[in-house]
Amino acid sequence: MATGGGSLDRAADVAASAARSPAVILDQLPDGVVVVDVAPPTAAGDATCVRWSNELFASWCGPRKPEGRGFFEALCDPEVIGIDPHPFATAVAGNAVVAATLRTKDNRYLHVLAAPVPGSHSVVAAVRDVTHTILEQQKRAAIHQAGQKLADLSPSELADMTVQERIDLLKSNIIHYSKDLLQFDVVEIRLLDQQTGRLEPLLAEGMQPEAEARILYARPEHNGVTGYVAATGRSYLCADTTKDPRYLEGCKGAKSSLTVPLLLHDHVIGTFNVETPEPGGFTDTDLQFLEIFSRDVAAALNTLELLVAEKASTAAESIEAIHGAVALPVDDILNDAVNVMERYIGHDADVVERLQRILRNARDIKQVIQKVGEKMKPSSAHAQFRQGERRPALSGRRILVVDADDQVRVAAHALLERYGCTVETARDGAEATSMVRAALGREAYDVIISDIRLPDLSGYQLLLKLQEILEHVPLVLMTGFGYDPGHSIVKARQAGIDLVLFKPFRIDQLLDTVERALAAPRVA
């Protein structure tokens, strides 16, 4: 009881002290408070004098006390943002409360409310630090401005670009602003196929290949956070991926993620996902910024007509779709024919001749489809790249891509054939060696691109097999995130194979690597 009584007594003493000294109360406020004497403004400068201030205001004024100094002088002459450079004089002259915003030399923003003291030439001002709010507003404006620039092209520029070029431009801009403005390094955008409900990847930066290739649907269950967001239209902040059952690993080692819907006229057209290895790496403010940016991304997608409807609207793209559909089946024919032909060598010349005819016809199928597609394209949208985008070193080159992943082989066809390459693929080392052996002579491959982990061989083991067939082996090894359990890359480099392509690869990385392989001295 005595202890309790003593506490009450001390509380009473504090209250009494506060009653005797209002400054004690004012020092507890979250705002700066200052009493300022105001004289009419002169050309000589500051016409104010600080009579009293609380501790918070004094802390903004440096080592010297503000009392006896001009208000603006005490704050190191901040800039007054607005049309009234003398808010205190205006408050006294008009006998009204006046608001102003100041920007200090260290980029702090202060909001001032000045109220005149009746019967005097003084004001009482409340000063609040609004730096965080102002900077957030500026960033919101910058994000929205960046969003407006995503597809900022003139009609003539748009008319001169192919659909794929417009897609690439948008991807590049999204990644640029996501990294430089929003500070997001891992980005994934998927578009919703309204007919199937499937979420098709548009771009992935920093995501694992397995995550990028993952099939997801707009469903609230069993399709990760992305599927949930697409199905519900609600944003989702995952503060701890290790404890969230909805999270499916995207970026290796990610500890938190943020996913928002891409909304166009209140309809979900896709998802925008960012991730970070930091636990609790995203805030509600990050969520707001991403939602702002995603609305502009959705508008840009609509402006550039990147959705499925446009891709099916031109004859040229229909031809590309046909070629994409037959590319792997034709490769299967080539692989099977080569395999059978190897078994019959030395046994039946007629069978071998028939199989060689099958090989020629299968290769002709792809060439015919490409030529028909070129003829059907209007001249203004012809698949000729502007001078800076041409890759003459690739035209007419024969490329063999060896990978068990169908998507990698399809991507190789789509990307390299756009630049005039002839692409054939194999699923494992055995098929690759058979294809290389059958292509000796005029049909020999200029470059062979192989994953380091094939179903039957490592990349280095494939190199040894190819060295038994070829005098020079033009090999490029592919790997995801540098994962190389068999040390194929190290061993291949010791054998003189220096070119490595990291998956998922960008188009420019793929093209540059192939060009370097074509230009490099070939290893015996």
> Residue 326's domain is classified under what CATH number?
3.40.50.2300
Which structure tokens are listed for 522?
């070939």
Together in a domain, 120 and 159: no
Percent of the chain with pLDDT over 90: 28
The answer to whether residues 82 and 111 touch, using CB atoms and an 8 Å cutoff, is no
> Residue 494: what pLDDT?
78
Helix (H) or strand (E) holding 446: none
The residue among 42 and 365 whose pLDDT is bigger is: 365
Residue 3 is assigned to a structural domain of this protein: no
Q: 336 and 293: one domain?
A: no
- Both 94 and 189 in one domain: the answer is no
Q: How many domains does the chain have?
A: 3
271 three-class SS: strand
Task: Give the gyration radius of the chain's Cα atoms.
Answer: 34
DSSP at 482? T
255 and 369, same domain (yes or no):
no
**293, 310, 327: which is the final residue of a domain?**
310
Domain identity same for 70 and 117: yes
CATH number at residue 83: 3.30.450.20
Q: 433 with 463, same domain?
A: yes
**Do 264 and 329 reside in the same domain of the chain?**
no
* pLDDT above 90: residue 130: no
| Average pLDDT for the chain | 79
Q: 322 and 428: one domain?
A: yes
| DSSP letter string, 227-256 | HHHHHH---EEES-GGG-TT----STT--E
Same domain, 102 and 194: no
Q: 104, 129, 154 — which closes off a domain?
A: 129
Domain membership of residue 12 (yes or no) is no
Q: Could you tell me if 503 and 368 lie in one domain?
A: yes
Cα separation of 385 and 395, whole Å? 12
Residue 390 lies in a domain: yes
In what helix (H) or strand (E) does residue 463 lie, and over which residues does it extend?
A: helix 459-467
Whether the CB-CB separation of 109 and 103 falls below 8 Å is answered with yes
Reported pTM = 0.44
Residue 28 has pLDDT above 80, yes or no: no
What is the reported pLDDT for 389?
A: 53
Which tens digits make up the pLDDT trace of 162-196? 656 666 777 777 777 777 766 788 889 999 998 89
Whether 472 is in a domain gets the answer: yes
For residue 42, count other CB atoms closer than 10 A to its CB: 8
* DSSP annotation of 383: S
Q: Is the pLDDT of residue 290 over 90?
A: no
Averaged pLDDT for residues 25-39: 84
**Does residue 290 lie in a domain region?**
yes
Kindly provide the b/e burial profile for residues 197-215, where b requires at least 16 CB atoms within 10 angstroms of the residue's own CB.
Answer: ebbebbbbbbbbbebbebe
pLDDT over 50 (residue 310): no
pLDDT at 414: 81
Does some domain include residue 10?
no
Kindly provide the residue ranges of all beta strands, DSSP E only, lying in 159-213, ordered along the sequence: 186-192, 198-205
The reply to whether 341 and 446 lie within a common domain is: yes
Pick from 268, 284, 310: which residue ends a domain? 310
As a whole number of angstroms, the distance between CA 183 and CA 165 comes to 25
Residues 207 and 277 in one domain: yes
Is residue 154 a part of any domain in this protein?
A: yes
Q: Which residues contact 424 (CB under 8 A, 6 or more apart)?
A: 331, 334, 363, 398, 399, 400, 401, 435, 445
Q: What does the pLDDT look like over 211-221, one tens digit per residue?
A: 888 999 999 99
Which pLDDT score is estimated for 241?
Answer: 92
pLDDT: which is higher, 48 or 144: 48
Cβ proximity of 263 and 297 under 8 Å:
no
Output the six-digit token pair for 498.
Answer: 């220096």
pLDDT in tens, 323-337: 666 677 778 888 777
Question: Is 80 exceeded by the pLDDT of residue 129?
Answer: yes
Q: What tens digit of pLDDT does each residue of 446-487 get?
A: 999 998 889 999 888 898 899 899 888 888 888 875 556 667
Strand ordering across the sheet containing 398-402: 422-426, 398-402, 447-451, 475-480, 500-503
Examine residue 107 and state whether it is found in any structural domain, yes or no. yes
CATH number of the domain encompassing residue 245 = 3.30.450.40
Residue type, 347: H
| Domain hosting residue 157, numbered range | 137-310
Pairing verdict, β 256-264 and 267-276:
antiparallel
